């Protein structure tokens, strides 16, 4: 159903200026998407790491209690650390995890939705104590003329979800954490339902439980409750929210991600009634989008397609997605065709 844009990937790490002269950008991906003042805006997750002066030393950047940058230096051959995963370092003695990059949110602007001008400075950067390992995977929901941006807040305290808002993408108000660890992949609906704000979220249980998509309601976008499971992951692996739900005549269309035991990420979709976001009436039985092209199957973390933002313009659905945790790409489809493909 989806046609990849011939210019893919639209945004590569080399297109983004590092926030510091001693850093290099290794990823520009998993962007939230919206429209504002006649432009299409993406809020990119920009992953940076210190430029290595020695191949045997792996620097792990983080922010201290004052918000200052600190580098933890780990030797790649140190037997006390697991260094096999390029994304993180694990201390075998304590179980502590350190990331090898630090992410922030960066604004990219486009008139045609294909060619983007990327700001030279971060739009939002991490702050202690809950974002000392950075911020990731923004989703943008426009509600009553205001743009609410939720994102993953990462620190040694765990993976949480935080919220910010803006009216003009210049002035930003932070609202702090809205879900405690471990919880991520929050997608906030663009309209109240039954007088309440609604979101999907994905708790991350360990031991018992699967990685399912849950629903929550809120009177103010800050305090969330009335929790219930919406989508069961069905198999070993995980599911999680993708782009914020899209309002259509047929119901709310949600595009979500699923990962199998081999960490291959694909996209699926489901539909709920406009007045009952917790009741699925149709769902994809097979992935609607999967990694196939070289920029999706290989890269920083291959075999990944992951969306945080989609734009519906009439019957055209523009899906902006991260490929291999490295680049940003675009695929387009007929909105009505996607909905017709779903099964009860």
pLDDT tens track for 60-108 = 999 999 999 999 999 999 999 999 988 999 999 999 999 999 999 999 9
Convert the pLDDT of each residue in 288-330 to its tens digit: 999 999 999 999 999 999 999 999 999 999 999 999 999 999 9
Please give the residue range of the domain that contains residue 331: 3-340
Q: Is the pLDDT of residue 261 over 90?
A: no
Domain count, the chain: 1
Average pLDDT over residues 18-34: 98
| Average confidence (pLDDT) over 321-343 | 98
Residue 44 neighbours by CB under 8 Å, 6+ apart: 11, 16, 28, 29, 30, 31, 105, 106, 107, 108, 118, 328
- The pairs formed by 225-230 with CB atoms below 8 angstroms and a separation of 24 or more are 226/196, 228/278, 230/200, 230/272, 230/277, 230/278, 230/280
pLDDT > 80? residue 210: yes
Phi, psi values for residue 249, rounded to 5°: -65, -30
- The residue written with tokens 């929790």 in the block is 227
Encoding tokens for residue 68? 């200052």
The domain that holds 141 is classified in CATH as 2.115.10.20
Question: How far is the C-alpha of 183 from the C-alpha of 193, rounded, in Å?
Answer: 23
Smallest CA-to-CA distance from 154 within 188, 184, 124 is with 184
> 116-175 pLDDT, tens per residue?
999 999 999 999 999 999 999 999 999 999 999 999 999 999 999 999 999 999 999 999
* Token pair belonging to 342: 């779903």
With left for phi above 0 and alpha for psi between -120 and 50, is residue 133 left, alpha or beta?
A: alpha
pLDDT at position 236 is 58
Predicted local confidence at residue 238, as pLDDT: 87
* pLDDT the model gives residue 86: 87
> Mean of the per-residue pLDDT values for the chain?
96
87/89 Cα distance (integer angstroms): 7
Res 234 pLDDT > 80: no
């Amino acid at each position: 159903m989806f046609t990849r844009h011939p210019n893919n990937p639209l945004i590569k790490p080399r297109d983004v200026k590092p926030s510091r002269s001693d850093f290099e950008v290794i990823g520009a991906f998993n962007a939230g998407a919206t429209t504002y003042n006649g432009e299409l805006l993406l809020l990119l997750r920009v992953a940076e790491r210190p430029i290595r002066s020695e191949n045997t030393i792996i620097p792990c950047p983080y922010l201290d209690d004052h918000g200052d940058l600190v580098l933890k230096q780990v030797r790649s051959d140190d037997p006390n650390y697991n260094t096999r995963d390029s994304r993180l370092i694990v201390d075998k003695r304590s179980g502590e995890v350190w990331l090898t990059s630090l992410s922030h949110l960066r604004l990219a602007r486009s008139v045609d939705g294909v060619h983007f001008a990327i700001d030279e400075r971060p739009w939002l950067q991490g702050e202690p104590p809950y974002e000392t390992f950075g911020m990731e995977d923004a989703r943008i929901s426009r509600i009553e003329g205001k743009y609410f941006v939720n994102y993953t807040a990462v620190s040694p305290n765990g993976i949480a979800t935080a919220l910010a808002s803006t009216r003009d993408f210049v002035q930003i108000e932070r609202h702090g954490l809205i879900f405690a660890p471990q919880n991520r992949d929050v997608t906030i609906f663009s309209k109240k339902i039954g007088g309440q704000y609604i979101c999907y979220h994905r708790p991350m249980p360990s031991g018992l439980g699967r990685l399912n998509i849950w629903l929550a309601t809120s009177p103010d976008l800050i305090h969330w409750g009335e929790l219930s499971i919406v989508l069961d992951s069905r198999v070993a692996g995980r599911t999680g929210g993708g782009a914020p739900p899209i309002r259509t005549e047929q119901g709310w269309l949600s595009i979500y991600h699923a990962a199998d035991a081999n960490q291959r990420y694909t996209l699926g979709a489901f539909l709920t009634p406009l007045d009952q976001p917790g009741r699925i009436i149709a769902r994809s039985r097979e992935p609607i989008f999967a990694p196939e092209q070289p920029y999706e199957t290989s890269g920083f973390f291959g075999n990944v397609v992951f969306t945080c933002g989609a734009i519906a313009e009439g019957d055209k659905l523009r899906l902006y997605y991260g490929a291999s945790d490295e680049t940003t790409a675009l695929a387009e489809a007929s909105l009505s065709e996607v909905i017709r493909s779903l099964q009860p």
